[in-house]
Amino acid sequence: MSRMPAPENPVPDHEQLDKDVLDAKIHAQVSETEQLPSRREEPVVTRRELWSYYLYYNGDNGVGPNGFSMTLFQSLATAAGYDPAKGPGSSCTATDASGQCVLPWGSGTKSVSSIVLVSTGVSFAVMALMFTTIGSAADYGRFGRWLLFVVTVICWASQFAGMALTTPDRWGAAMALYMIGFISYGATLVFYAAAFPRLARNTSHSRELKRKYEAGEIVREEYEVEESMEKNRISNMSTMHSNIGYIATLCLNLTLLLPLAKNPKVNNYVLYNVDWVLLGIWWFIFQQPRPGPSLPKGEHYLTIGWKQIWYALKQYKKLPYTFIYLFAFFLLADGLNTTGTLISICQNDFFQFSFLENTYLGLAQAITSTASTLGFWYIQRYWRISTKKMFVVTNVVTIIIPLWGMIGLWTGKLGFHNRWEFWAYNVMFGLFQAPYYAFSQTMMAELTPPGFDNMFFGLFGLSNRASSMIGPNVIQAIIDNSGNNWKGFPFLFAICTAASVVIWFGVDVTTGRRDAVSWAEKNRRYIDTGVLGEDESDDGEYGKRA
């Protein structure tokens, strides 16, 4: 029987069919990639826009929500409390008082210092929830711009409402307004800072540097140094403007505190923050549109943030130095922020909640902060010193402050027991901690993948502000058990030291910056479309780039 001829188009076997399907899928993916829109060209930063950015921070200087609001709250709580050594009905401010002060709390009592620390800790916890839920969602569309506007208005309203806190029985309302103001103030700092990397990338100088680098006119190392200097310039200038605003606000307060010294409502009047309204509104007017991609179909602003955080956290192997810095800064910010709160409590007790004394101390801090920010920037620019080395210098003082407070455990002669020590603290804080904020922000900007600003600055905000939900709660428990404010300093010294050592020896900024740029390029799809796509490639070079 003769063999039948094979058909011209044989039915493919299963292996060949699977291969054809796979090729079709690959071709479709390649075609889809080719059709992705090119990276959006963002507008160059104008002089008017940059100055409106500085002016916003000039008004957002923290005098009210970060200073006087807590003083007013602690003052009213102390006036409403009683001396536990003498029982209910006694006064915490009597000449023969024991130095302790408690308020009814739940089924028992709690010291005023602990209540202040609890409210601070809860505020940081709320910030943590805010930054993880909606922080990175600000990368989409114009959401970030409106988010900053809303939290700014809430902070303004909380300060104006503080004018009604005139009697001790309103200490509960004072606590609520302090928390609202503190939370919204912390949020303004984070969402304001998130705009910084994008601004720095789009100044005329940065754009010219990028052009020269891409054209081969300058080498990579020169480009990185000059770009870093541009970031430091904007960060230091904005920090300087914040301190100038701090000085101006305190001087305005003196025009009320001195002539109205005997007016029982004078402390409420200084919370009238009309200067921030007048200075801050221009940023929302002159900020040029640099929107992110549209929110992906099927996503929501209240859930996309959690997905982004989870996606970002899974990149720790590909961005090792970024995440080492975030972890270390989490501890460092917790230690520094809680140290400042604890010293403020001791300072308020020592000066009997005098707004006038606190204004003088604040002026000392503000003036030295302004001078040191300019000084540090001049030194860095003149000697071309890296951001990390400048940051290390400020970390040393971050450690020394709680170490000095520890001395107060063993003697009443030193360790924040004297007037001159509080003056010295405010001067030292101004000289070294104002540059600390500028350099820590620049470090984060250098380790952040371009185009993922709000995603990673949301994590930075979690480290910087929300981390301090741990320290205040630990310290308030220590104070409650011991009745001694100074028992909290050893814990703060330990975490500040541990965090600083990790940053000094565990973070390579140059390699981390190159990792961030490389990772951003491999995840360009997100920058263009807002769709998070897993980058499964790992060439083994992350964390090793020279």
Dist CA 71 CA 66 (whole Å): 9
Mean of pLDDT over the chain? 85
SS3 assignment, position 516? helix
pLDDT band at 134 (very low <50, low <70, confident <90, very high): confident
Higher pLDDT, 36 or 257: 257
Structural Rg of the chain based on CA atoms: 27
- Collapsed DSSP state (helix, strand, coil) of residue 211: helix
Cβ neighbourhood burial of 215 (10 Å; 0-12, 13-18, 19+)? exposed
Copy the structure tokens of residue 421.
């020590």
Higher pLDDT pick, 398 / 15: 398
Residue 67, phi then psi, degrees to nearest 5? -135, -75
For residue 28, count other CB atoms closer than 10 A to its CB: 10
Looking at per-residue pLDDT, the higher value among 516 and 470 belongs to 516
The pLDDT of residue 529: 61
* Cross-strand partners of 105: 108
The conformation of residue 416, written as its DSSP 8-state character, comes to S
Q: Where in the chain is the domain with CATH 1.20.1250.20?
A: 302-528
Render pLDDT for 286-339 as a digit per residue (tens, 0 to 9).
Answer: 999 888 778 888 888 888 878 877 887 888 899 999 999 999 999 999 999 899
At the top level of CATH, the class of 302-528 is mainly alpha
Domain 42-299 CATH assignment equals 3.30.1370:
no
Spatial distance between the Cα atoms of 399 and 323, rounded to a whole number of angstroms: 22
What would the pLDDT profile of 428-460 be if each residue is shown by its tens digit? Answer: 999 998 899 899 999 999 999 987 887 788 788
Phi, psi of 539 (to 5 degrees): -80, 5
Does residue 348 have a pLDDT over 60?
Answer: yes
- For the question of whether the overall pTM of this predicted structure is more than 0.75, the answer is yes
List Cβ neighbours of 180 (8 Å cut-off, separation of 6 or more). 154, 158
Q: How far apart are CA 181 and CA 123, in angstroms?
A: 9
Q: What is the structure's pLDDT at 451?
A: 76
Q: Is 3's pLDDT higher than 60? A: no
pLDDT(466) > 90: no
Q: What percent of the chain has pLDDT over 70?
A: 87
Q: Which residues pair with 102 in a beta bridge?
A: 82, 111
pLDDT-derived band of residue 129, with 50, 70 and 90 as boundaries? confident
